[in-house]
Structure 1
Amino acid sequence: MNTFRTNEVAKMIGIHVNTVRLYEECGLIPKPERQENGYRIFTDLHIEQFRLARKVLQTEILQNGLRKLAVCIVKTSAAGDYDKAEDLIGQYVERVNAEEEKANEAIKIARKILSGIEGNCEIEDKTYSRKEAADFLEVSIDTLRNWELNGLFTIKRRQNGYRVYTEADLQGLMIIRSLRCANYSLAAILRMLRALSSDPKANILEIIDTPELDDDIITACDRLLTSLKEAKDNALFAAQQIKKLKRMTSNKPTLTHQSDGTC
């Protein structure tokens, strides 16, 4: 089995040498042996574990404990418990699939509500207070306030300054609630609502998953469906890496030093 120094590993993986040491400190790779002079000795096993870690942690998926589970997969593999790591990958893929289903279902709900709005020319004139609207939507008043502050909707006010919600407002808020429950970001929802205001027949699925070029911040939730797909693809890559690591440890090859680079 080949051996490498810290700087060689950094070049091979495409990271800074301090990041190599950070991965060791965080338990994301097996602890390398050291020479008498203190230099770390990394092996092919470490290189493959680095590749696994980089791939699994590549996508910032935070919902439903997915990020925590991803870290657990990497640490479990680094500890050499490959069977458990494979089980965790299975759990991870199941959760990602569930999130994908929820995200797609939210889009279907949004389309259905929009279709109902378009087909219903006579919407009741009944109005609601903020508390009544929050109770109807099963969200908190603070949630409604947050959505309004972020520009997702604008509510009319009575002469006394109190907000008044109409039936049309509630239908629009039901779309926002469905998308937020599926973990779409506020930015993604706002992008979709703006597009629909200018073109009611716009492709919701495409718009909500495609950040604009001038967006200041692009997060995983701004392209949720794409990120979930990437997360699943990365997990499947990790499953192959686990199989490779299992084969490497079962073969137990001898170490062959390949370089005299500095630590």
Structure 2
Amino acid sequence: MKTYHTSEVAALVGLHPNTIRRYEEWELIPIPPRANNGYRVFTDFHIETIKIAQVAFQIEVLQSGLRIIMVEMVKAVARYDFAEAQALLDRYLELVEKEIANANDVIHVVENILVGKTEEEALCLTRSETAEYLGVTSEALRNWERNGLLAVKRSKNNYRLYDQEDIKRLKIIRTLRSAKYSLAAILRMLNAVEQEKQDIKSLLNPVTPDDSIISACDNLIDSLEKAKINACELKKQVADVQKRFFNNKV
């Protein structure tokens, strides 16, 4: 079996030797054995694991813990747990599809707001029910309220109640926060919609793209679609590595 020194591996994968050592520290590759002279000894499996990591980290998609799932997937490959790696990629794809659906839902919500269309569904939820409905934490709702993104009505017994209009607004906030927009930027974008000074066409082609919720969602969907392509490529790459190094057993 062919072996390599750190500098050789670095040259083959296009990384700095220090990065290769970081991969070892971060458990992204198996710990290489040491030769008698103390040098690390790498194999083709180390190289293929690094290539998997490079593909995994190409797309910076952070929402819903997607980046964390990719890190855990690479670690699973590094410890030869290919079943876990594939399961994590399946979970990743599932979450990506959910985020795409959320972003498309927000586009629909904003377009309906702009044309004055109301939803038939009537909701009246408590904070905990709203958090569960949207898939966020109650603390996130509190934080958004504290920062002026939402003014929630109260019942006679002083409990906060969220209606359909609140849910629409919260869907927008949730998706934009997932896309890593600041609270200040989200407030500005929400205010632009509420003032109704822009029609749908100008929102789709804004002078300042960051002020458009629809453009933000379109950009998010584009990133998520690229993440899907990456994940599908990784599923094949992981399967190929398993076949190559472990006697064609899948």
Superposition TM-score tier, normalisation by shorter sequence: 0.5 to 0.7
The equivalent of 2:230 in structure 1 is 234
Describe how 1:177-188 pairs up with structure 2 within 5 A: 177-182=170-175, 183-186=178-181
Q: Does 1:105 align with 2:105?
A: yes
Say yes or no: does 1:5 pair with 2:1: no
Cα 1:184–1:63 shift into 2, 3 Å? closer
Aligned counterparts, 1:18-167, within 5 A: 18-116=18-116, 142-147=143-148
**1:243 equivalent in structure 2:** 239
TM-score of the pair, normalised by structure 2: 0.67
Between the aligned partners of 2:98 and 2:148, the Cα distance in structure 1 is 25
Matching residue's letter, 1:180: I
> For 1:40 and 1:206, how far apart are their aligned partners in 2?
54
Alignment deviations for residues 76-96 of structure 1 (CA, whole Å, 9 cap, x no partner): 111111122112211111111
Task: Kindly name which structure, 1 or 2, has the bigger radius of gyration based on alpha carbons.
Answer: 1
Quote the Cα distance in structure 1 between the aligned partners of 2:79 and 2:100. 30
Aligned length: 207
Does structure 2 retain, via aligned residues, the 8 Å contact 1:2–1:43?
A: yes
1:164-193, Cα deviation, whole Å (9 max, x unpaired): xxxxxx97x876532221224435747856
Distance 1:2 1:180, change over 3 A: farther
For residues 59 and 142 of structure 1, the distance between their equivalents in structure 2, rounded to whole angstroms, comes to 28
Call closer, same or farther: CA 1:140–1:40 in 2, change over 3 Å.
Answer: closer
TM-score (normalizing by structure 1): 0.64
Partners of 1:222 and 1:38 lie apart in 2 by: 52
> Could you say what secondary structure the match of 2:29 adopts?
coil
Counterpart of 1:74, as a letter, is: V
Q: In the alignment, what sits opposite 1:201?
A: 200
- Deviation digits for residues 85-111 of structure 1 (CA, Å, limit 9, x no counterpart): 112211111111111111111111111
Percent of aligned pairs sharing the same letter: 37
Contact map agreement 1:13 1:50 (CA 8 A) in 2: yes
Task: Identify unmatched segments of 5+ residues in structure 1.
Answer: 120-133, 156-169, 213-219, 253-263
Task: Name whichever of 184-193 and 233-242 sits farther off.
Answer: 184-193
- 2:134 is matched with none
* Structure 1 residue 36 displacement after superposition: 0.8
Higher relative contact order, structure no. (Cα contacts within 8 Å, ≥ 6 residues apart): 1
Indicate if the aligned counterparts of 1:195 and 1:202 stay in contact, CA closer than 8 A: no
In structure 2, the residue corresponding to 1:34 is in which secondary structure? Answer: coil
Change (3 A) 1:79 1:141: closer
The runs of 5 or more residues in structure 2 that have no matched partner are 119-126, 132-139, 152-163
